[in-house]
Amino acid sequence: MSLAVRHTQRLELRRTPFLACRADPRFSYCLYVPPRAPAGPRPLLVVVHGDRRTAERYRDALTDFADAHGCVVLAPLFPVGVPEPEDVLSYKRLRRRDVRFDLVLLRMIEEAAARWPVRADRFLLHGYSGGGLFALRFSYLHPARLVGVSVGAPGSITRLDPALPWPAGIADVAEKFGVTHPLHAPPPSSVPVDPPVPVHVTVGALDTRQLRRPPHHTRLDQALALHRHLLERGVPATLEVVPGIAHNGFALLPAATRFLSTLLPDG
């Protein structure tokens, strides 16, 4: 065994460094792998950062949860400036030019599953702020890949509305992403349909700063509107407004993990 291989194996224990995504090295990801967990593929929780790109901090904040449930945590990093200089927003919209951020995440998961005993077919997903928008929109495009999704403090929302273009609605998702969703395009009765993905919406009760874009809603307004909309569309959605909290993703993690733990085998 070469020195380089032995060094790489040591780095793979518990908290990993950031690993370049082999499918597209402009992106990277880090993991937490619990040292003690049941044999066989472990559940996977993906946590998506907000605009500050604090991916590693979110990974570290979830280590106790991972240890308690034998769950691997994967935190992707979508850096500013891809695919265009100073590009901050595109990752949360899932596509910009030829970059499909949703597919980049799926490739990261495939790569992780090739190195660690991780269940890659279906996983838990949580995102905060911009990451919350990523998580919500990913659940619309890839419902079969998710056990459940927690959406934290979204600044805007995407509705399951076939009359509105992406990202406000889902009118053109087949054209943009090559996928359809059974909630807005029911298949023939002979085709089985998976039940909707459980969605958890969480926001701080004090997250009431008006957003810059018209109509200048607050994130609290957006979370309440998203919850109502999902229920109207038959999605099993729950809402948790956390008292005493403004716009703070780490303060929302306990609410998110309480929900996600109910979807794990030991929950």
Decide: helix, strand or coil at residue 92.
helix
Distance CA 142, CA 173 (A): 12
| 52-66, 73-87, 101-115, 204-218: least confident range | 204-218
Distance (Å, whole) CA 52 – CA 55:
9
Percent of all residues in the chain with a pLDDT value above 70, rounded to a whole number: 88
Encoded amino acid at 61, one letter:
A
166-213 pLDDT, tens digit per residue, is 999 999 999 999 986 655 444 445 445 567 899 999 999 999 999 987
pLDDT over 50 at 6, yes or no: no
Q: What angle do CA 254, 114, 147 make, to 5 degrees?
A: 35
pLDDT, residue 193, reads: 54
| 123 and 109 Cβ atoms separated by less than 8 Å | yes
**Structure confidence by residue, pLDDT tens digits, 139-170:** 999 999 999 999 999 999 999 999 999 999 99
Pick from 86-100, 137-151, 211-225, 237-251: least confident:
211-225
Place of tokens 């929950």: 267
| Closest CA relative to residue 236, chosen from 139, 145, 152, 123 | 139
